[in-house]
Amino acid sequence: MEKKQITKIGVLTSGGDAPGMNAAVRAVVRTGVHYGLEVFGIMRGYNGMVENDIVPMNSRSVANIIQRGGTILKTARSKDFFSPEGRQKAYDNLKALGINGLVIIGGDGSFRGAQKFSSEFDIPCVGIPGTIDKDMAGTDYTIGFDTAVNTAVDAIDKIRDTMDAHDRLFIVEVMGRDAGYIALHSGIATGAENILIPESKTDIEDLIKSLTEKEKRKKLVNLIVVAEGDEFGGANELAKVIKERLPSADTRVCILGHIQRGGSPSCQDRLVASHMGYYGVESLMIGRYNVMVGMMNNKIHYTPLDKAVKERKTIGHEWMKIVKILAS
């Protein structure tokens, strides 16, 4: 795409919400204003573009939001944006307002939409990774992961107290439909005996064997952390099988669910969001179009959007070995 003078930018949050999205919106708006750009907030993800729900923003519009979870711009999944007619409408609305650059804060689905849009129309896009799942290639951090994983750790610590008091086997399900990062990190940090993630095959025989051995050694307290998207199934499915195979085990299930998406963003998420928001606007201004702004080895790192949506971050299998050793 040809380099052009960016004068008016739109910012939106799209797809799954993540704590820290507000901090990113704030950074985009204030950086834009600082450099003399007009900044517009696009409501409810791509829906706002299609339905012309777009509001002018200034520095005051983003006052007192850095510490708030959720997103003041709201987020959504937009069916209309999947169709060429929907995207044409979105383009017409942006064009009418003179918006000539977009910052999209969201996950890989949102970036797929951005990539499609920028390949069809002359409006450059920049993506900021906002997802609690962390599974995006080209960045060590995604906005929201640190907060979500700390929420999970807090909750599991509390479960451990009651579990310990009763010699129970607890199965805790954390979020992660396609990615096991929340399960892996929260499981390691809470000393889970077993961690089940979609990225590695769950060997149920092996799991039952390890629980039986632990029972023999009178290690009666067992914590299993399972990602909701584990291919064996979530916590309920697993509990059913364990009850059949080990009827004497006092098994309980806890599904953490949406509490992992809420709450005040951690310091790290606020910092990462502030950094990425700033560099997102800078990228548009200097003509570095259609990239995802990431951070690798504590430095800003840019990945072309088409590459960012194709590649997935993988989990190193040495982690699973460490889990086994530390839980013995």
- Residues in touch with ligand ADP (CB under 6 A): 14-16, 45-46, 77-78, 81-82, 106-110, 112-113, 116, 131
* CB closer to ligand ADP out of 31 and 115: 115
Q: Is 92 a catalytic residue?
A: no
Task: Find the farthest-apart pair of alpha carbons in the chain and give their distance in angstroms, rounded.
Answer: 72
**Residue type at position 255:** I
CB of 46 to ligand ADP, least distance (A): 4
CB of 15 to ligand ADP, least distance (A): 2
* CB closer to ligand ADP out of 111 and 289: 111
* CB closer to ligand ADP out of 111 and 170: 111
**Quick one: the chain helix, strand, coil %, rounded to 5?**
45, 20, 35
Residue whose Cβ sits closest to ligand ADP: 109
| CA gap 274, 265 in Å, rounded | 12
CB of 309 to ligand ADP, least distance (A): 8
| CA gap 205, 254 in Å, rounded | 22
* CB closer to ligand ADP out of 77 and 245: 77
Question: Which conformational region is residue 144 in: left (phi greater than 0), alpha (psi within -120 to 50 degrees), or beta?
Answer: left
| CA gap 325, 139 in Å, rounded | 29
Q: How many CB atoms lie within 10 A of CB 203?
A: 12
Q: Choose, from 133, 135, 146, 269, the residue flagged as catalytic.
A: 133
| CA gap 94, 161 in Å, rounded | 54
CB of 323 to ligand ADP, least distance (A): 27
| CA gap 146, 159 in Å, rounded | 20
Active-site residue list: 133
